[in-house]
Structure 1
Amino acid sequence: MVKLNARLVLLLTLPPLLWAGNAVVGRLMVGQVPPLALNAMRWVLASLLLLPLGWRAIATPAARAQIAQRWPELALLSFLGVGCYNSLQYLALTTSTPLNVTLIAASMPLWMMGIGAVFYQVRPRGREWLGAALSLGGVLVVLSRGSVAALARVHFVTGDLLMLLAVMSWAFYSWLLARPPKSMRGEARPGWNWAELLLVQTLFGSAFGATAASAEFALTGATVHWSPGVAVALLYVAVGPSVIAYRCWGQGVTLVGPAVAAFFSNLTPLFAAVLSAAMLGEAPQPYHGVAFALIVAGIAVSSRR
């Protein structure tokens, strides 16, 4: 594990900020764009944006043969991190409240550590458990707005289960980035740069997303209500939470490991609270500062060498 520095902190802080915006946009799109269609269009557009940067990964028969030889591993990676996680999150936002969704997402460090222990024999250290408790405490402060009574009023619905599945899929995705299969590490790994690897993921993810969206249209008859706002929203989710955030997260996870990176993901609900407050014209409250201090303390404790 590489020691945290300013560059790594930036790499791991940008994704939560962009993903917080994604959650706000996803909520705004309810009733305008069906959730599975939103996910499919997001990744098709992201693939088109990545094509000029990563075209070499699919440009020649030899390049496509490399993908064909590794398609099970690449398909699984894309299914978990591109297709499954994002579809489940958008579906969760249609029936669950932002409070419940972010509360469940705050369990990410625990899932990261649990999966690491069971499947990768990476035993969490005591300071990582302490960091998880501090970071989760910060998230609970945001979710409760400084009032414990608010947490007692939480009621779980179908969307909460979907978000739990989404968190589990993202935890597995992050571990696959940090501990790839033999065909994707060392000399066996294709000489792809970040854009080429992400393009391959988005192509597989677009296929999964298009299949799911087709089923959604067929079963529900839902339609997209196009408007300038919808177009801007699609551009944002394709560029920020997709290309930029996935680039930063992939590099950060590879350097510091999934367990430490997971603590940074707990910044997402804090950023979401600030963005929501800004959109509603409400000034940040003192509890935002308390939550930020707890989350940063969790990151610092868990990443100490």
Structure 2
Amino acid sequence: MTGYGRGDVVQQGYRAVAELKAVNHRYAEIHVRMSRDLLAYEDSIKKLITEKIRRGRIEVYITFERLSGSVPEIEVNREFARELKKTSDRLAEELGVQSDLSVAQLLQFEGVVQVRTAEEDPEQVQKVIAQAVSQAVDKLLEMRAREGAQLAADFQERLDRLADAVQQMSERSPLVVEDYQERLQKRLQEWLEGKMELDESRLLTEVAIFAERADIDEELVRLRSHIKQFHETLKLVEPVGRKLDFLVQEMNREVNTIGSKSNDLILSQYVVEAKSLLEQIREQVQNVE
């Protein structure tokens, strides 16, 4: 499921901002973007997220800064600066030019100036980042919950239509058998009246095949059971995406079996409608955790 969450925490002179963006994915896939000096906290960030989010591709963006504390200490390597100045003066004298090396230019030489900042407290840094990530996860889950409610309503509507199609199949099935019986009786009557030749073995074979294929009661019973399970699963508070995916596969299996047994145009139309609804449900199930 898609979603966005942002956490912003200021504590003990540190500020951490965490942004999470989630898109649909069959499994949990987490990508963390942050500065190299924070890489030591990547595993703990992922663990914190996977404790609450089991499915989806999650993009995580972490920014961190120190807000207060002692002023950075600046150290000047004066000995190195003197040697640079002496070298500049000697070279100028040898070349017969004026030495114009300024203090500003000296400070730009690598190794002349070193800036030392106060050491970070790793435990405090991790704590601040964790709080920001937790905030972002909670906001993301709130957004996904709203989307989940909309998805559930959509599932209910499509399942109701699927149940109607199943009921229509159930009502049509005995009519198919009756229609076949009427046609068979007509052919037998014509044979008895000598209007046509009858291949007895072919007739028996046809009757046996039709009797086997015409019965779809078991498939309809299982379909109704799967629809009921789907409704019940939607009420659970735990991650249900995989279970719903499995139920859709099983319903597809039953509908395909009915389709293979059907030699009736109207019944085939109900099968096509059911398969279309299941495909729509399957696509939406991929968005469920």
Q: TM-score, normalised by structure 1?
A: 0.20
**Which structure has more RCO (C-alpha within 8 Å, separation ≥ 6)?**
1
Larger Rg: 2
More helix by share: 1
Q: TM-score, normalised by structure 2?
A: 0.21
